[in-house]
Structure formats: structure tokens, C-alpha cells
Amino acid sequence: MKSPIVKTAGRALTPFVLLYGAYVTLFGVLSPGGGFPGGVIMASGVILILVSHDSEKIKSLVENIEWFDTFGAFAFLLVGLGGLFLSGAYFANLWPRSPVMLILLDIVVSLKVFAGTVALFVYFFKQEVEPSSTE
């Protein structure tokens, strides 16, 4: 799994995969896409690096990414409550004419899906590298 080919391919591909994921998320308002698929595409970019490289730095980088997962979920709630407090209706559209709310929710959702998927992968990857003590 750690052959130089996979390493260089991973290093070469990941920025483009992350860029494409960000594009799908941010352009979810105009073209098909949006928070969920964008987040997963970005997660696949990071997983590509996680699989091909074994350096501790990357591991430490993604070590406690599940907090972003929590933060994303609560940010979505805050946006909903913000609508409730600012203009009366839960999840109200605060800027009626402009897609600001949509892009905001898109970004929050993609952050959450990204962090959740990477956290899941880190957990399963850790299982595979050092199986839990129970076995």
C-alpha cells in the first residue's frame, strides 16, 4: 500500500480532488452538487493521502477531526436558530433575494460531512493498523 507509485499519485491528485470537492460545495447553488457530495469528495482527497502516507504529521493533523464534525452539526443548528431569533421563523431565509443562506448552509454541511467521513476513516484505519486490545 505504501509503494512510491501510490505515494506520488496521492500527492499529485489530492489537491485537485480537494479543489473539486470545494467547487462542488460552493457551486451547489448554481450547478448540481452541494454540501453533502462536496464534503465527501473532499474527504476522499484526504483519505487518499492518509492511505498512501504514513507520516505522524498527517496522523496528528487528522487526529481529533471529529470535533469539526460536532462543530458542523451545531453550526447548522445555530443557523436555524439564528433564523428563529432574527426573523421569527425557524430556518428563516435571512437574505430573501440572495443565495447567502444556501451557500452558508452548504459550507456548514460539507464541513460536517467531510469531518465525519475522515473521522470514520481514521477510526477504521486505526483498527486495521493496531487492532483493539480485545482480540
Beta carbons of 36 and 113 less than 8 angstroms apart: yes
Is 32 a residue that touches other proteins (CB under 8 A)?
yes
C-alpha cell at 70: 460536532
Out of 20, 23, 68, 91, the residue judged to bind other proteins by CB under 8 A:
91
Q: Does 43 bind other proteins (CB under 8 A)?
A: no
Q: In the complex, what is the shortest distance from the CB of residue 86 to other proteins, in angstroms, rounded to a whole number?
A: 15
Cell 435571512 belongs to which residue? 94
Q: Which of 9, 19, 61, 77: binder of other proteins (CB under 8 A)?
A: 77
Q: Contact, 65 vs 115, CB < 8 A?
A: yes
- Tell me how far apart the alpha carbons of residues 95 and 124 are, in angstroms, rounded to a whole number: 41
- Within residues 113-132, the interface with other proteins by CB under 8 A covers 113, 116, 119-120, 123, 127, 132
The answer to whether the beta carbons of residues 27 and 77 sit under 8 Å apart is no
Give the shortest CB-60-to-other proteins separation in angstroms.
13
